[in-house]
Amino acid sequence: MFLQLIASGVANGSIYALMALGMTILLRATTLINFSYGEFAMGAAYLTYIANDSFGLPYFVSIFLAFGALFLIGIIVERFFVRPLGAAPHLTLTLMIVAVSFLIKGIARFFFGRDFIRMPDLIEGDPIEFHNVIVLPQDLLVVAASILTVIVFFFFFEFTRFGKVMQAASQTPRGAALVGINVPRLQSIMWGVTALMGALAGILIAPISLLYPEMGGKILIKGLAAMTLGGFGSLSGAVAGGFALGILENLASGYIASSTADIAAFVVIIAVLLIRPGGLFGEWKPSSV
């Protein structure tokens, strides 16, 4: 039972890691937490469902169309909802982002109500058994896609010029502007890229959790808990926190009660903030210079 819970926890944790990583990247680029990130994930899943079910497009074509749409939505949100506020206090910007999240959720409720939709698995096949641990092909795809995304962004930040420019601009935006870097354009692109990462998380988890308008808020909390556990601003911490949360959640559900899975994220947030506010790997602090 223990190994089965660990395996299932890794599958869930990979989604949480993906959410936390996307929010952390945007935090480092803009010093903002995207509280509409869960709705980006939910919206991508709905767009995939609509393209596949209503328009009869192949599943993977629908997925790539959703990716493109979410990339544009991320840029639109930054350009028309966030950037016009300029140098407004972070509280004002946060309220705007929360308003956008409720707007997206409201649109989903208007068209789909509160119904739960069963999305087809991204990959089908018989369960795989290894040392009494049963793993579904869907779970393997989720873990593989999440780990691949993490690896891609690790190399992006460590070994590409644009990745290094983005890190420099996030820590000293005024200095980056003085040397000719177009910081607003850079931030807009990162909103689009991280929205795309949220889209991937939503599309991966929807066949497992079912598709419904409130799903975004649930996985947003998981992503925030993973960020808190790993340390705000730490890319490696976001990934480690996501996997750790998924495993802890499953172990608590298996050995204590299934209902504890719903509160595990909140318990993690409270415990980390009380015991180690910086998280396990927290070391980054945004600069105002």
- Per-residue pLDDT band at 288 (split at 50, 70, 90): very low
Q: Give 289's pLDDT tier (boundaries 50, 70, 90).
A: very low
Residue 108 has pLDDT above 60, yes or no: yes
Angle at 197 between CA 196 and CA 200, to 5 degrees: 90
Query: What is the percent of the chain where pLDDT is above 90?
Result: 51
pLDDT tens track for 150-205:
888 888 877 888 777 776 676 666 666 776 778 788 889 889 999 999 999 999 99
Q: What is the pLDDT at residue 234? A: 85
pLDDT given for residue 131 in this prediction: 77
Q: Which residue has the higher pLDDT, 247 or 181?
A: 247
Instruction: For the full predicted model, state whether its pTM sits above 0.85.
Output: yes
Q: What does the pLDDT look like over 20-77, one tens digit per residue? A: 999 998 888 788 899 999 999 999 999 999 999 999 999 999 999 999 999 999 999 9
Listed in sequence order, the residues at least 6 apart from 73 whose beta carbon sits closer than 8 Å to its beta carbon are 40, 43, 195
Q: Is the Cα torsion angle 162, 193, 205, 53 positive or negative in sign? A: negative
Asked whether residue 274 carries a pLDDT value surpassing 70, the answer given is yes
Query: Residue 187 has what pLDDT?
Result: 85
* CB within 8 Å of 170: residues ≥ 6 apart: 28, 29, 30, 31, 286
Give the mean pLDDT of 254-262.
Answer: 84
Q: Which pLDDT band holds residue 112 (cuts at 50, 70, 90)?
A: very high
Question: Residue 282: pLDDT above 70?
Answer: no
Give the chain's mean pLDDT. 88
